[in-house]
Structure 1
Amino acid sequence: MKQLLTLSLLLVATTLFAQEDANTPEKKFAFEGSVDAYYRTNLTAPNDENQIAPATSFADTGGFSLGMGNIIASYEKGRVGAVADLVFGPRGEAASATVLNQLFAFYNISENTKLTLGKFNTFLGYEVIAPAGNFNYSTSYLFSNGPFSHTGLKADFTLSEDFSLMLGVFNQTDVTEFNPDGSYAVGAQLGYDGQYLNLLYDAAGLGFEVDYTGGFDASEDFFVGINAAYADNDGEGFYGVDLYPQYGISDTFTIGLRGEYFQTQSESVDDDPSVIGLTLTGSLVIDEDLIIKPEFRLDSSSEDDFIDTDLMATKSLGSFVLAAIYKF
């Protein structure tokens, strides 16, 4: 009888512990990142100490150069979690004042509502800071002139299967460590089936920017990405459009073109300068994690912004980049 009672109590205790373990939220820890390096040379200009390059962010030094190391650690338990995104190297230093590319906590209030507080990369634009997230290795003029990161609070809403909405309030654009003057920016994003309309108003910094980012599959192997933006800050700003057609030749090799028109605008300038950029990039994937990207780029400006091999002022610059990106 005692043995039967003991066995019964053991079964009850085991069941209670099992129920407790089942109700305890699962802990999820993830670790990922990338490293990249490149070789760059001018095709129509000298390669010397002047470091002649397009006026865009990153990938602008000659010879063999470093990109960045990117380490992302994320932790989630139940409805809450946090992300720490660290960057090292010239590209990371140019994009972020510190090694903290992103640092935020989040709370999933429900299946359709998520709150995020901290520093996170911008929601505007087609391209991102980490090269592993872009098709082209060099960056566009729209990306280089837009915001990189925000520090603040945002709320993401899933409105339906196709519609999404983000609303946020942030410090001044790209002022991410603290708020130095008490000014704030507000932003919003409306998404529909992979197309996004983005708005940012920052009176003390960037001003007002409206941005469209999206794309469509023309066929099973052919994709076209689109980015268009307009920004104005008391008569100073820019506008432009980028097209990103990409064709998958095989399971491991894709070729893509970035065609860009970009123009600055200023009330103090009669003829605002503009630039047309054409970037042809190949993307070869080796063993799923290593990506080799050969890239030819031609920048054509309305002004004599470059010099040629005879050291004469010219409106165009041709260059070549060979980049290697490893994702883990």
Structure 2
Amino acid sequence: MKKSFLLVLVALLLVAFTAKAQDAAKTEGSEKKEEVSGLEVHGGVDAYFGYNFNEEAMKTSFTGVHNSFELGMANVILSQKMDKVSFVADLAWGPRADAANGSAGSSTDAIKQLFMTYAATDDLTITAGNFSTFVGYEVIDATGNFNYSTSYMFSNGPFYHTGVKADYAVNDQFGFMVGLFNDTDSKTDANGINHYGCQLSYAPSEELSAYFNVLHGREAIDQKGTQFDLTGTYQASKDLMVGLNATYKMISIDTDGADDQSWMGAALYLNYMVNDGLGLGFRGEYFDDPDGVNLGVASGSNVIDLTFSANMKSGPLTFIPEFRIDMASEDIFVDTDGKPTSTSPTLLFAVVYGF
């Protein structure tokens, strides 16, 4: 299956360079002026205060500190386009960036994304470098999410990939992507390049879009993972946006006598803009961990996350008060007396600035 995937990727690259040669032949002997855009700079900063009523750290990403003012992330994104080619350099610093990048004290820790693209034709684009994952609904940047805290699916799914991918627009509604990557969430590969993924996109209108994603690869010497993921958004009205994410991961273990494992989840997102300065959001998530891969209960457990957020905007500044309660089938949390409990409520106040 891996060889077949490599053949497909090589074929797309050949199509890309053939198309480039054809374009060159058409313009030979005539002057062709390249369109060059100026260097664009944007990004964001964020910070938060979190109070967990159990006085414990949350089990999802980026908000793991209780009763403290905390820095999030500062990131600066540089980009430029020149005719058919472009680049993006996304540099980030702070606790949120460290958690997303898997900080290991190396010179690449500040690189959140670093990739180049080549538009071989109007329909085919090749991207190479380090880029955010195509799997899931939420993103690393606080400026890209309505809720400040993150879901269990996002926290346990991939954050980024390093490698090469090809995006092809079949028509105005359908698109397809294939990619070959290093180990997930790694800028280098310790096991030999063996991760690959694909995405089928469908956007029948400006209001509706859906993406079906698959990611597969060897995660350890005796372990392979395959994740199936579906995301979708629907702009139900001018003010109401509905989002959906559902994911299922299978973990195949080669060790004799060891059972395969899995986890799964689904979430519904509702965002309603009351006016230009105020938005109300809700996330309802169900996360099932039957084999104890992520929640730590060997016999299996699940958790429901209900998150209520407001987005209060003043120009580029967004203030996000948020209340969240996590309710588990088992006692995976600890209360203020140090006793196991099945619920964990949290109050957050975040400030996000995008530019």
**Fold match by TM threshold 0.5:** yes
Q: Distance in 1 between matches of 2:300 and 2:119?
A: 46
Q: TM-score, normalised by structure 1?
A: 0.88
- Whether contact under 8 Å (1:183, 1:204) holds in the other structure is no
Secondary structure in structure 2 of the residue aligned to 1:144: helix
Structure 2 residue corresponding to 1:32, chosen from 33, 42, 51: 42
Consecutive unaligned residues of structure 1, counting only runs of 5 or more, are 1-18, 47-51
Aligned to 1:294: 321
Secondary structure in structure 2 of the residue aligned to 1:204: strand
One-letter amino acid matched to 1:216: Y
Aligned to 1:55: 59
Secondary structure in structure 2 of the residue aligned to 1:180: coil
Q: Distance in 1 between matches of 2:249 and 2:172?
A: 31
- Whether contact under 8 Å (2:44, 2:76) holds in the other structure is yes
Per-residue deviation, residues 136-158 of structure 1 (Å, max 9, x unmatched): 00000000010111011100111
Aligned pairs for 1:179-194 (under 5 A) are 179-193=189-203, 194=209
1:54–1:116 distance in 2 versus 1, CA, 3 Å? same
Per-residue deviation, residues 196-242 of structure 1 (Å, max 9, x unmatched): 00011113356100000002123332221000000011222310100
1:41 corresponds to 2:51: yes
Aligned pairs for 1:138-149 (under 5 A) are 138-149=149-160
Aligned pairs for 1:146-185 (under 5 A) are 146-176=157-187, 178-185=188-195
Per-residue deviation, residues 163-219 of structure 1 (Å, max 9, x unmatched): 11111111111122x222213111001000110000111133561000000021233
Q: Distance in 2 between matches of 1:303 and 1:182?
A: 39
Consecutive unaligned residues of structure 2, counting only runs of 5 or more, are 1-29, 104-108, 204-208, 253-259
1:88 corresponds to 2:93: yes
Q: TM-score, normalised by structure 2?
A: 0.81
Aligned to 2:230: 212
Q: Distance in 1 between matches of 2:36 and 2:298?
A: 62
Structure 1 residue corresponding to 2:73, chosen from 65, 68, 74: 68
Q: Distance in 1 between matches of 2:264 and 2:172?
A: 32
- Whether contact under 8 Å (2:34, 2:82) holds in the other structure is no
- Whether contact under 8 Å (1:54, 1:299) holds in the other structure is no
Aligned pairs for 1:201-280 (under 5 A) are 201-204=216-219, 207-234=225-252, 235-266=260-291, 271-280=299-308
Structure 2 residue corresponding to 1:197, chosen from 200, 208, 212: 212
Q: Distance in 2 between matches of 1:182 and 1:26?
A: 37
Structure 1 residue corresponding to 2:331, chosen from 283, 295, 304: 304
One-letter amino acid matched to 2:186: V
Aligned to 1:12: none
1:306 deviates by 1.8
- Larger mean Cα displacement after TM superposition, 100-109 or 205-214: 205-214
Per-residue deviation, residues 258-279 of structure 1 (Å, max 9, x unmatched): 0000011329977311100000
1:125 corresponds to 2:129: no
Percent of paired sites with the same residue:
41
Structure 1 residue corresponding to 2:343, chosen from 309, 316, 320: 316
Per-residue deviation, residues 40-77 of structure 1 (Å, max 9, x unmatched): 1123x23xxxxx12211111212100000011001211
Q: Distance in 2 between matches of 1:55 and 1:303?
A: 14
Runs of 4+ in 1 over 4 A off after TM superposition: 267-270
1:285 corresponds to 2:313: yes
- Whether contact under 8 Å (1:107, 1:115) holds in the other structure is yes
Per-residue deviation, residues 295-321 of structure 1 (Å, max 9, x unmatched): 000001112122223333211011100
Q: Distance in 1 between matches of 2:330 and 2:128?
A: 43
- Whether contact under 8 Å (2:263, 2:289) holds in the other structure is yes
Aligned to 1:8: none
Give RMSD over aligned pairs.
1.7
Q: Distance in 2 between matches of 1:252 and 1:122?
A: 30
Q: Distance in 1 between matches of 2:311 and 2:235?
A: 18
One-letter amino acid matched to 2:307: T
1:250–1:267 distance in 2 versus 1, CA, 3 Å? closer
- Whether contact under 8 Å (1:221, 1:248) holds in the other structure is yes
Secondary structure in structure 1 of the residue aligned to 2:120: strand
Q: Distance in 2 between matches of 1:110 and 1:293?
A: 42
